[in-house]
Chain A
Amino acid sequence: MNWLWSNLDLVGELMLVHLALSVPAIILSFVVSVPIGWLAHRYRWSRGVLLSICGLLYAIPSLALFIALPAFTGLSLRSPVNLVIALTLYGVAVIVRTSADAFDSVERDIRQSATAVGYSAAGRFWGVELPLAGPVLLSGLRVVIVSTVSLATVGAVIGVPSLGSLFTDGFQRGIQIEIITGIVATIVLALGLDALSVLLGRLLMPWTRRASSNGRVLTARRVREETA
Protein backbone atom coordinates (compact mmCIF):
# COMPACT_ATOMS: atom_id res chain seq x y z
CA MET A 1 0.00 0.00 0.00
CA ASN A 2 2.92 2.33 0.78
CA TRP A 3 4.06 1.99 -2.76
CA LEU A 4 0.66 3.09 -4.01
CA TRP A 5 0.44 6.22 -1.87
CA SER A 6 3.89 7.41 -2.78
CA ASN A 7 3.38 6.71 -6.47
CA LEU A 8 -0.11 8.03 -7.12
CA ASP A 9 1.37 10.70 -9.39
CA LEU A 10 3.15 8.08 -11.45
CA VAL A 11 -0.02 6.02 -11.82
CA GLY A 12 -2.01 9.06 -12.88
CA GLU A 13 0.64 10.06 -15.35
CA LEU A 14 0.83 6.57 -16.85
CA MET A 15 -2.94 6.50 -17.18
CA LEU A 16 -2.74 9.62 -19.29
CA VAL A 17 0.10 8.17 -21.36
CA HIS A 18 -1.96 5.01 -21.75
CA LEU A 19 -4.94 7.01 -22.94
CA ALA A 20 -2.74 8.86 -25.40
CA LEU A 21 -1.74 5.50 -26.89
CA SER A 22 -5.07 3.72 -26.90
CA VAL A 23 -7.60 6.44 -27.70
CA PRO A 24 -6.05 7.38 -31.06
CA ALA A 25 -5.78 3.70 -31.94
CA ILE A 26 -9.43 3.11 -31.03
CA ILE A 27 -10.68 6.09 -32.99
CA LEU A 28 -8.48 5.30 -35.98
CA SER A 29 -9.55 1.68 -36.12
CA PHE A 30 -13.21 2.69 -35.98
CA VAL A 31 -12.84 5.30 -38.69
CA VAL A 32 -10.85 2.97 -40.94
CA SER A 33 -12.96 -0.12 -40.44
CA VAL A 34 -16.41 1.36 -41.09
CA PRO A 35 -15.76 1.99 -44.80
CA ILE A 36 -14.02 -1.38 -45.11
CA GLY A 37 -16.96 -3.05 -43.42
CA TRP A 38 -19.34 -1.26 -45.74
CA LEU A 39 -17.32 -2.46 -48.70
CA ALA A 40 -17.47 -6.04 -47.44
CA HIS A 41 -21.21 -5.67 -47.01
CA ARG A 42 -21.87 -3.99 -50.34
CA TYR A 43 -19.70 -6.16 -52.57
CA ARG A 44 -20.09 -9.82 -51.76
CA TRP A 45 -16.92 -10.83 -53.59
CA SER A 46 -14.78 -8.55 -51.45
CA ARG A 47 -16.19 -9.92 -48.24
CA GLY A 48 -14.27 -13.18 -48.18
CA VAL A 49 -10.99 -11.50 -49.06
CA LEU A 50 -11.34 -8.65 -46.58
CA LEU A 51 -12.47 -10.86 -43.75
CA SER A 52 -9.69 -13.39 -44.41
CA ILE A 53 -7.08 -10.64 -44.30
CA CYS A 54 -8.51 -9.43 -41.01
CA GLY A 55 -8.53 -12.98 -39.70
CA LEU A 56 -4.87 -13.48 -40.60
CA LEU A 57 -3.95 -10.14 -39.09
CA TYR A 58 -5.62 -11.04 -35.87
CA ALA A 59 -3.93 -14.41 -35.71
CA ILE A 60 -0.57 -12.64 -35.44
CA PRO A 61 0.64 -12.54 -31.84
CA SER A 62 0.85 -8.93 -30.67
CA LEU A 63 4.44 -8.95 -29.48
CA ALA A 64 5.58 -10.33 -32.83
CA LEU A 65 3.66 -7.64 -34.68
CA PHE A 66 5.10 -4.87 -32.50
CA ILE A 67 8.56 -6.07 -33.43
CA ALA A 68 7.95 -6.81 -37.08
CA LEU A 69 6.18 -3.53 -37.83
CA PRO A 70 9.23 -1.22 -37.70
CA ALA A 71 10.81 -3.36 -40.39
CA PHE A 72 8.07 -2.10 -42.70
CA THR A 73 7.57 1.43 -41.43
CA GLY A 74 11.16 2.33 -40.65
CA LEU A 75 10.02 3.71 -37.29
CA SER A 76 11.96 3.12 -34.12
CA LEU A 77 10.88 0.10 -32.09
CA ARG A 78 10.24 2.31 -29.08
CA SER A 79 8.21 4.86 -30.99
CA PRO A 80 4.68 5.23 -29.63
CA VAL A 81 3.55 5.73 -33.23
CA ASN A 82 4.68 2.19 -33.99
CA LEU A 83 2.51 0.91 -31.16
CA VAL A 84 -0.49 3.00 -32.22
CA ILE A 85 -0.25 1.63 -35.75
CA ALA A 86 -0.08 -1.94 -34.48
CA LEU A 87 -3.04 -1.40 -32.13
CA THR A 88 -5.00 0.17 -34.96
CA LEU A 89 -4.33 -2.84 -37.17
CA TYR A 90 -5.70 -5.14 -34.47
CA GLY A 91 -8.66 -2.88 -33.91
CA VAL A 92 -9.48 -2.90 -37.61
CA ALA A 93 -9.11 -6.67 -37.73
CA VAL A 94 -11.64 -7.02 -34.94
CA ILE A 95 -14.19 -4.50 -36.03
CA VAL A 96 -14.40 -5.04 -39.81
CA ARG A 97 -16.42 -8.22 -39.46
CA THR A 98 -18.75 -6.59 -36.99
CA SER A 99 -19.22 -3.55 -39.17
CA ALA A 100 -19.95 -5.71 -42.22
CA ASP A 101 -22.55 -7.51 -40.07
CA ALA A 102 -23.82 -4.14 -38.89
CA PHE A 103 -24.58 -3.00 -42.41
CA ASP A 104 -26.02 -6.41 -43.23
CA SER A 105 -28.39 -5.99 -40.33
CA VAL A 106 -30.06 -2.97 -41.90
CA GLU A 107 -33.13 -4.43 -43.50
CA ARG A 108 -33.46 -4.43 -47.23
CA ASP A 109 -36.95 -3.04 -47.08
CA ILE A 110 -35.79 -0.03 -45.16
CA ARG A 111 -32.95 0.54 -47.57
CA GLN A 112 -35.20 0.24 -50.58
CA SER A 113 -37.86 2.47 -49.16
CA ALA A 114 -35.15 5.07 -48.45
CA THR A 115 -34.19 4.93 -52.11
CA ALA A 116 -37.82 5.08 -53.07
CA VAL A 117 -38.45 8.29 -51.14
CA GLY A 118 -35.58 9.88 -53.01
CA TYR A 119 -32.38 9.54 -50.97
CA SER A 120 -29.23 9.75 -53.04
CA ALA A 121 -26.66 6.98 -52.52
CA ALA A 122 -24.55 9.17 -50.25
CA GLY A 123 -27.57 10.60 -48.46
CA ARG A 124 -28.85 7.11 -47.87
CA PHE A 125 -25.53 6.04 -46.37
CA TRP A 126 -25.32 8.96 -43.95
CA GLY A 127 -29.03 9.31 -43.29
CA VAL A 128 -30.20 5.71 -43.14
CA GLU A 129 -27.60 2.95 -43.28
CA LEU A 130 -25.02 4.37 -40.92
CA PRO A 131 -27.45 5.33 -38.15
CA LEU A 132 -29.30 2.02 -38.39
CA ALA A 133 -26.04 0.07 -38.35
CA GLY A 134 -25.06 2.14 -35.32
CA PRO A 135 -26.04 -0.25 -32.53
CA VAL A 136 -24.05 -3.14 -33.98
CA LEU A 137 -21.14 -0.83 -34.81
CA LEU A 138 -21.19 0.30 -31.22
CA SER A 139 -20.99 -3.27 -29.97
CA GLY A 140 -17.92 -3.76 -32.16
CA LEU A 141 -16.38 -0.55 -30.88
CA ARG A 142 -16.87 -1.71 -27.32
CA VAL A 143 -14.95 -4.90 -28.00
CA VAL A 144 -12.14 -2.88 -29.55
CA ILE A 145 -12.00 -0.52 -26.60
CA VAL A 146 -11.47 -3.30 -24.11
CA SER A 147 -8.95 -5.17 -26.26
CA THR A 148 -6.93 -2.10 -27.22
CA VAL A 149 -6.59 -0.81 -23.68
CA SER A 150 -5.47 -4.23 -22.54
CA LEU A 151 -3.15 -4.84 -25.48
CA ALA A 152 -1.43 -1.46 -25.16
CA THR A 153 0.18 -2.66 -21.92
CA VAL A 154 2.25 -5.17 -23.90
CA GLY A 155 4.19 -2.25 -25.39
CA ALA A 156 5.97 -1.90 -22.05
CA VAL A 157 8.20 -4.91 -22.78
CA ILE A 158 9.60 -3.25 -25.90
CA GLY A 159 10.06 0.03 -24.04
CA VAL A 160 6.96 2.04 -24.89
CA PRO A 161 5.73 3.40 -21.54
CA SER A 162 2.11 2.83 -20.52
CA LEU A 163 0.28 1.30 -17.57
CA GLY A 164 2.13 -1.83 -18.67
CA SER A 165 5.29 -0.24 -17.27
CA LEU A 166 3.84 -0.96 -13.84
CA PHE A 167 3.90 -4.67 -14.74
CA THR A 168 7.48 -4.74 -15.99
CA ASP A 169 8.75 -2.52 -13.19
CA GLY A 170 6.75 -4.34 -10.52
CA PHE A 171 7.97 -7.70 -11.82
CA GLN A 172 11.62 -6.68 -11.88
CA ARG A 173 11.49 -5.13 -8.42
CA GLY A 174 9.14 -7.73 -6.98
CA ILE A 175 6.47 -5.21 -5.97
CA GLN A 176 3.18 -7.03 -6.01
CA ILE A 177 1.03 -4.01 -5.32
CA GLU A 178 2.50 -2.22 -8.30
CA ILE A 179 1.33 -4.96 -10.65
CA ILE A 180 -2.09 -5.15 -9.04
CA THR A 181 -2.42 -1.40 -9.32
CA GLY A 182 -1.56 -1.66 -12.98
CA ILE A 183 -4.17 -4.36 -13.57
CA VAL A 184 -6.85 -2.41 -11.74
CA ALA A 185 -5.96 0.83 -13.49
CA THR A 186 -6.09 -0.87 -16.89
CA ILE A 187 -9.49 -2.37 -16.17
CA VAL A 188 -10.81 0.93 -14.82
CA LEU A 189 -9.60 2.69 -17.92
CA ALA A 190 -11.18 0.09 -20.20
CA LEU A 191 -14.49 0.15 -18.36
CA GLY A 192 -14.45 3.94 -18.23
CA LEU A 193 -13.95 4.26 -21.98
CA ASP A 194 -16.55 1.55 -22.52
CA ALA A 195 -19.09 3.43 -20.41
CA LEU A 196 -18.24 6.60 -22.29
CA SER A 197 -18.89 4.89 -25.62
CA VAL A 198 -22.23 3.57 -24.41
CA LEU A 199 -23.18 7.05 -23.25
CA LEU A 200 -22.12 8.51 -26.56
CA GLY A 201 -24.15 5.85 -28.32
CA ARG A 202 -27.26 6.80 -26.34
CA LEU A 203 -26.77 10.44 -27.17
CA LEU A 204 -26.28 9.78 -30.86
CA MET A 205 -28.86 7.02 -31.19
CA PRO A 206 -31.75 7.97 -28.93
CA TRP A 207 -34.05 5.48 -30.66
CA THR A 208 -32.16 2.51 -29.21
CA ARG A 209 -32.76 3.46 -25.59
CA ARG A 210 -35.93 1.50 -24.92
CA ALA A 211 -35.36 -1.32 -27.30
CA SER A 212 -32.24 -2.63 -25.65
CA SER A 213 -33.81 -2.98 -22.24
CA ASN A 214 -36.75 -4.86 -23.72
CA GLY A 215 -34.78 -7.02 -26.10
CA ARG A 216 -34.03 -9.82 -23.70
CA VAL A 217 -37.58 -10.20 -22.49
CA LEU A 218 -38.88 -10.22 -26.01
CA THR A 219 -36.53 -12.97 -27.10
CA ALA A 220 -37.33 -15.01 -24.05
CA ARG A 221 -40.99 -14.80 -24.80
CA ARG A 222 -40.50 -15.65 -28.42
CA VAL A 223 -38.50 -18.71 -27.47
CA ARG A 224 -41.23 -19.89 -25.18
CA GLU A 225 -43.85 -19.37 -27.79
CA GLU A 226 -41.91 -21.16 -30.44
CA THR A 227 -41.11 -24.12 -28.28
CA ALA A 228 -44.65 -24.30 -26.93
Chain B
Amino acid sequence: MNLFLDAFAWLADPANWTGPGSIPQRIAEHLWVSALVLVIASAIALPLGALVGHTGRGREPAVMVSGGLRALPTLGVLTLFGIWIGIGLAAPVIALVILAIPPLLAGAYAGFESVDRRTIDAARAMGMRELQVVGKVELPLGMPIVVGGIRSATLQIIATATLAAYIADEGLGRFIFAGLKTRDYGEMLGGSILVILLALVIDGCFALTQRVVVPAGVRATRTAELRSGPTRSRTIVGRPNTEGNQE
Protein backbone atom coordinates (compact mmCIF):
# COMPACT_ATOMS: atom_id res chain seq x y z
CA MET B 1 0.00 0.00 0.00
CA ASN B 2 2.87 2.38 0.53
CA LEU B 3 3.22 2.29 -3.25
CA PHE B 4 -0.06 4.14 -3.41
CA LEU B 5 1.15 6.52 -0.74
CA ASP B 6 4.09 7.32 -3.01
CA ALA B 7 1.70 7.93 -5.86
CA PHE B 8 -0.55 10.17 -3.80
CA ALA B 9 2.45 12.04 -2.49
CA TRP B 10 3.53 12.65 -6.06
CA LEU B 11 0.04 13.69 -7.07
CA ALA B 12 -0.21 16.03 -4.08
CA ASP B 13 3.15 17.65 -4.68
CA PRO B 14 2.38 21.25 -5.73
CA ALA B 15 5.60 21.28 -7.77
CA ASN B 16 3.95 18.84 -10.20
CA TRP B 17 1.02 21.15 -10.80
CA THR B 18 2.78 24.18 -12.22
CA GLY B 19 5.33 25.04 -14.86
CA PRO B 20 6.32 23.24 -18.05
CA GLY B 21 5.54 19.53 -18.03
CA SER B 22 3.08 19.95 -15.17
CA ILE B 23 0.06 17.72 -14.68
CA PRO B 24 -2.49 20.21 -16.09
CA GLN B 25 -0.32 20.80 -19.13
CA ARG B 26 0.05 17.08 -19.78
CA ILE B 27 -3.67 16.51 -19.38
CA ALA B 28 -4.35 19.31 -21.85
CA GLU B 29 -1.84 17.81 -24.30
CA HIS B 30 -3.35 14.39 -23.94
CA LEU B 31 -6.84 15.69 -24.60
CA TRP B 32 -5.75 17.90 -27.47
CA VAL B 33 -3.86 15.13 -29.27
CA SER B 34 -6.72 12.69 -28.71
CA ALA B 35 -9.31 15.13 -29.99
CA LEU B 36 -7.22 15.99 -33.05
CA VAL B 37 -6.75 12.31 -33.88
CA LEU B 38 -10.42 11.57 -33.34
CA VAL B 39 -11.47 14.36 -35.69
CA ILE B 40 -9.06 13.33 -38.45
CA ALA B 41 -9.82 9.63 -38.16
CA SER B 42 -13.58 10.29 -38.04
CA ALA B 43 -13.38 12.47 -41.12
CA ILE B 44 -11.84 9.54 -42.96
CA ALA B 45 -13.60 6.53 -41.50
CA LEU B 46 -17.16 7.65 -40.79
CA PRO B 47 -18.16 8.74 -44.31
CA LEU B 48 -16.47 5.66 -45.72
CA GLY B 49 -18.25 3.39 -43.28
CA ALA B 50 -21.55 5.13 -43.93
CA LEU B 51 -21.09 4.65 -47.66
CA VAL B 52 -20.33 0.96 -47.22
CA GLY B 53 -23.28 0.47 -44.87
CA HIS B 54 -25.63 2.46 -47.08
CA THR B 55 -24.79 0.81 -50.38
CA GLY B 56 -23.81 -2.59 -49.03
CA ARG B 57 -20.98 -2.39 -51.53
CA GLY B 58 -17.36 -2.80 -50.53
CA ARG B 59 -18.39 -4.61 -47.42
CA GLU B 60 -15.81 -7.37 -47.72
CA PRO B 61 -12.86 -4.98 -48.10
CA ALA B 62 -14.16 -2.84 -45.24
CA VAL B 63 -14.41 -5.85 -42.97
CA MET B 64 -10.94 -6.90 -44.00
CA VAL B 65 -9.42 -3.46 -43.48
CA SER B 66 -11.03 -2.98 -40.10
CA GLY B 67 -10.18 -6.54 -39.07
CA GLY B 68 -6.66 -6.46 -40.50
CA LEU B 69 -5.71 -3.11 -39.00
CA ARG B 70 -6.77 -4.40 -35.64
CA ALA B 71 -4.08 -7.04 -35.67
CA LEU B 72 -1.43 -4.30 -35.96
CA PRO B 73 0.53 -3.96 -32.73
CA THR B 74 0.15 -0.35 -31.62
CA LEU B 75 3.67 -0.05 -30.25
CA GLY B 76 5.09 -1.30 -33.54
CA VAL B 77 3.17 1.28 -35.56
CA LEU B 78 4.16 4.06 -33.17
CA THR B 79 7.87 3.25 -33.20
CA LEU B 80 7.90 2.76 -36.96
CA PHE B 81 6.40 6.19 -37.60
CA GLY B 82 8.68 7.50 -34.88
CA ILE B 83 11.81 6.61 -36.81
CA TRP B 84 10.33 7.49 -40.17
CA ILE B 85 9.14 10.95 -39.24
CA GLY B 86 11.24 11.77 -36.20
CA ILE B 87 10.53 13.77 -33.10
CA GLY B 88 7.40 15.89 -32.89
CA LEU B 89 3.68 15.35 -32.93
CA ALA B 90 3.33 14.25 -36.55
CA ALA B 91 4.48 10.68 -35.98
CA PRO B 92 2.18 9.83 -33.08
CA VAL B 93 -0.76 11.62 -34.68
CA ILE B 94 -0.45 9.68 -37.94
CA ALA B 95 0.04 6.39 -36.11
CA LEU B 96 -2.92 7.08 -33.84
CA VAL B 97 -5.15 7.95 -36.79
CA ILE B 98 -4.33 4.65 -38.47
CA LEU B 99 -5.07 2.75 -35.29
CA ALA B 100 -8.34 4.60 -34.68
CA ILE B 101 -9.78 3.84 -38.10
CA PRO B 102 -10.89 0.22 -37.55
CA PRO B 103 -13.37 0.80 -34.72
CA LEU B 104 -14.75 3.92 -36.41
CA LEU B 105 -15.18 2.18 -39.73
CA ALA B 106 -16.74 -0.89 -38.16
CA GLY B 107 -19.10 1.21 -36.05
CA ALA B 108 -20.22 3.27 -39.01
CA TYR B 109 -20.96 0.42 -41.36
CA ALA B 110 -22.45 -1.75 -38.66
CA GLY B 111 -24.68 1.13 -37.59
CA PHE B 112 -25.92 1.78 -41.09
CA GLU B 113 -26.38 -1.90 -41.76
CA SER B 114 -28.35 -2.44 -38.60
CA VAL B 115 -31.25 -0.40 -39.91
CA ASP B 116 -34.19 -2.53 -41.01
CA ARG B 117 -34.06 -2.85 -44.80
CA ARG B 118 -37.84 -2.58 -44.97
CA THR B 119 -37.81 0.79 -43.26
CA ILE B 120 -35.27 2.04 -45.79
CA ASP B 121 -37.30 0.57 -48.60
CA ALA B 122 -40.40 2.36 -47.38
CA ALA B 123 -38.51 5.64 -47.12
CA ARG B 124 -37.39 5.29 -50.70
CA ALA B 125 -40.88 4.35 -51.84
CA MET B 126 -42.19 7.56 -50.29
CA GLY B 127 -39.82 9.50 -52.46
CA MET B 128 -36.85 10.26 -50.24
CA ARG B 129 -33.64 11.02 -52.11
CA GLU B 130 -30.62 8.92 -51.25
CA LEU B 131 -29.17 11.66 -49.07
CA GLN B 132 -32.48 12.01 -47.28
CA VAL B 133 -32.57 8.27 -46.66
CA VAL B 134 -29.11 8.59 -45.14
CA GLY B 135 -29.81 11.68 -43.09
CA LYS B 136 -33.38 11.11 -41.98
CA VAL B 137 -33.51 7.34 -41.62
CA GLU B 138 -30.20 5.53 -41.51
CA LEU B 139 -28.22 8.02 -39.47
CA PRO B 140 -30.70 8.50 -36.61
CA LEU B 141 -31.52 4.79 -36.42
CA GLY B 142 -27.91 3.64 -36.70
CA MET B 143 -26.59 6.36 -34.39
CA PRO B 144 -26.27 4.28 -31.20
CA ILE B 145 -23.95 1.85 -32.94
CA VAL B 146 -22.02 4.59 -34.70
CA VAL B 147 -21.49 6.32 -31.36
CA GLY B 148 -20.43 2.95 -29.93
CA GLY B 149 -17.71 2.85 -32.56
CA ILE B 150 -16.65 6.40 -31.73
CA ARG B 151 -16.53 5.45 -28.06
CA SER B 152 -14.30 2.45 -28.76
CA ALA B 153 -12.07 4.54 -30.95
CA THR B 154 -11.77 7.28 -28.34
CA LEU B 155 -10.74 4.87 -25.61
CA GLN B 156 -8.26 3.32 -27.96
CA ILE B 157 -6.87 6.73 -28.83
CA ILE B 158 -6.49 7.73 -25.17
CA ALA B 159 -4.72 4.47 -24.40
CA THR B 160 -2.41 4.69 -27.40
CA ALA B 161 -1.72 8.37 -26.80
CA THR B 162 -0.33 7.28 -23.43
CA LEU B 163 1.98 4.86 -25.17
CA ALA B 164 2.89 7.51 -27.74
CA ALA B 165 4.83 9.35 -25.06
CA TYR B 166 7.47 6.71 -25.78
CA ILE B 167 8.24 8.38 -29.10
CA ALA B 168 7.19 11.99 -28.49
CA ASP B 169 7.15 14.51 -25.69
CA GLU B 170 3.41 14.47 -25.26
CA GLY B 171 0.65 13.58 -22.85
CA LEU B 172 0.25 11.87 -19.53
CA GLY B 173 2.39 8.95 -20.67
CA ARG B 174 5.41 11.22 -20.10
CA PHE B 175 5.06 10.74 -16.36
CA ILE B 176 5.06 6.99 -16.80
CA PHE B 177 8.16 6.94 -18.98
CA ALA B 178 9.95 9.51 -16.81
CA GLY B 179 9.18 7.40 -13.77
CA LEU B 180 10.36 4.25 -15.53
CA LYS B 181 13.65 5.91 -16.36
CA THR B 182 14.33 7.20 -12.86
CA ARG B 183 12.69 4.17 -11.20
CA ASP B 184 10.32 6.55 -9.46
CA TYR B 185 7.32 4.30 -8.92
CA GLY B 186 5.32 7.09 -7.30
CA GLU B 187 5.47 9.15 -10.48
CA MET B 188 4.69 6.17 -12.72
CA LEU B 189 1.73 5.13 -10.64
CA GLY B 190 0.53 8.71 -10.24
CA GLY B 191 0.66 9.16 -14.02
CA SER B 192 -1.18 5.86 -14.49
CA ILE B 193 -3.90 6.89 -12.07
CA LEU B 194 -4.40 10.12 -13.99
CA VAL B 195 -4.66 8.25 -17.29
CA ILE B 196 -7.10 5.77 -15.84
CA LEU B 197 -9.28 8.53 -14.41
CA LEU B 198 -9.23 10.40 -17.70
CA ALA B 199 -10.26 7.29 -19.62
CA LEU B 200 -13.03 6.42 -17.20
CA VAL B 201 -14.46 9.92 -17.18
CA ILE B 202 -14.53 10.07 -20.97
CA ASP B 203 -15.98 6.58 -21.22
CA GLY B 204 -18.70 7.66 -18.80
CA CYS B 205 -19.52 10.66 -20.97
CA PHE B 206 -19.85 8.38 -23.97
CA ALA B 207 -22.02 5.94 -22.08
CA LEU B 208 -24.41 8.81 -21.42
CA THR B 209 -24.27 10.04 -25.01
CA GLN B 210 -24.97 6.56 -26.28
CA ARG B 211 -28.15 6.50 -24.26
CA VAL B 212 -29.25 9.91 -25.36
CA VAL B 213 -28.84 9.18 -29.06
CA VAL B 214 -31.16 6.17 -29.05
CA PRO B 215 -34.23 7.58 -30.81
CA ALA B 216 -37.23 7.65 -28.49
CA GLY B 217 -39.31 5.53 -30.85
CA VAL B 218 -36.63 2.88 -30.87
CA ARG B 219 -36.48 2.86 -27.10
CA ALA B 220 -40.21 2.25 -27.21
CA THR B 221 -39.62 -0.67 -29.56
CA ARG B 222 -37.23 -2.24 -27.11
CA THR B 223 -39.73 -2.29 -24.33
CA ALA B 224 -42.57 -3.29 -26.57
CA GLU B 225 -40.51 -6.06 -28.22
CA LEU B 226 -42.01 -5.58 -31.63
CA ARG B 227 -41.32 -7.80 -34.53
CA SER B 228 -39.28 -5.58 -36.76
CA GLY B 229 -35.56 -6.05 -36.46
CA PRO B 230 -32.41 -5.73 -38.48
CA THR B 231 -32.55 -7.85 -41.56
CA ARG B 232 -28.93 -7.79 -42.50
CA SER B 233 -26.63 -9.66 -40.21
CA ARG B 234 -25.25 -7.29 -37.69
CA THR B 235 -21.60 -6.67 -37.18
CA ILE B 236 -20.60 -6.78 -33.60
CA VAL B 237 -18.96 -3.66 -32.32
CA GLY B 238 -17.06 -4.54 -29.23
CA ARG B 239 -14.71 -2.73 -26.98
CA PRO B 240 -11.56 -0.79 -27.85
CA ASN B 241 -8.52 -2.26 -29.55
CA THR B 242 -10.19 -5.45 -30.32
CA GLU B 243 -13.66 -4.72 -31.41
CA GLY B 244 -14.35 -7.93 -32.88
CA ASN B 245 -15.62 -8.31 -36.14
CA GLN B 246 -16.64 -11.74 -36.06
CA GLU B 247 -17.34 -12.25 -39.70
The one of A64, A97, A158, A215 that contacts B196, using a Cβ cutoff of 8 Å: A64
Q: Is B223 an interface residue (CB 8 A)?
A: no
Q: Known interface pairs A158-B180, A167-B73, A227-B118. Does A61 touch B195 (Cβ–Cβ under 8 Å)?
A: yes
- CB distance B199 to A183 under 8 Å? no
The one of A55, A62, A70, A174 that contacts B203, using a Cβ cutoff of 8 Å: A55
- CB distance A226 to B117 under 8 Å? yes
The one of B83, B180, B185, B207 that contacts A171, using a Cβ cutoff of 8 Å: B83
Complex: chain A residue closest to B83, CB-CB = A174
- CB distance B73 to A164 under 8 Å? yes
- CB distance A154 to B239 under 8 Å? no
The one of B189, B231, B233, B242 that contacts A94, using a Cβ cutoff of 8 Å: B242
Q: Is A47 an interface residue (CB 8 A)?
A: no
Complex: chain A residue closest to B195, CB-CB = A64
Question: In whole Å, how far is B240's beta carbon from the nearest beta carbon of chain A?
Answer: 6
Question: In whole Å, how far is A18's beta carbon from the nearest beta carbon of chain B?
Answer: 10
Q: Is A89 an interface residue (CB 8 A)?
A: no
- Chief secondary structure at chain B's binding surface: helix
Q: Give CA–CA (A186, B162) in the complex, Å.
A: 21
Complex: chain A residue closest to B206, CB-CB = A59
Q: Is A197 an interface residue (CB 8 A)?
A: no
- CB distance B196 to A98 under 8 Å? no
Complex: chain B residue closest to A139, CB-CB = B246
Choose the segment among B14-22, B35-43, B74-82 that binds chain A (4+ C-beta atoms closer than 8 Å): B74-82
Residues of chain B within 8 A of A180, CB atoms compared: 80
Question: In whole Å, how far is B52's beta carbon from the nearest beta carbon of chain A?
Answer: 16
Q: Is A60 an interface residue (CB 8 A)?
A: yes
Q: List 10 A-B contacts (CB under 8 A).
A: A61-B155, A61-B162, A93-B239, A139-B236, A142-B244, A147-B242, A153-B75, A153-B76, A157-B166, A227-B118
Which 7 pairs of residues, A with B, have the shortest CB-CB distance? A143-B244, A147-B242, A61-B159, A139-B246, A64-B192, A171-B79, A183-B76
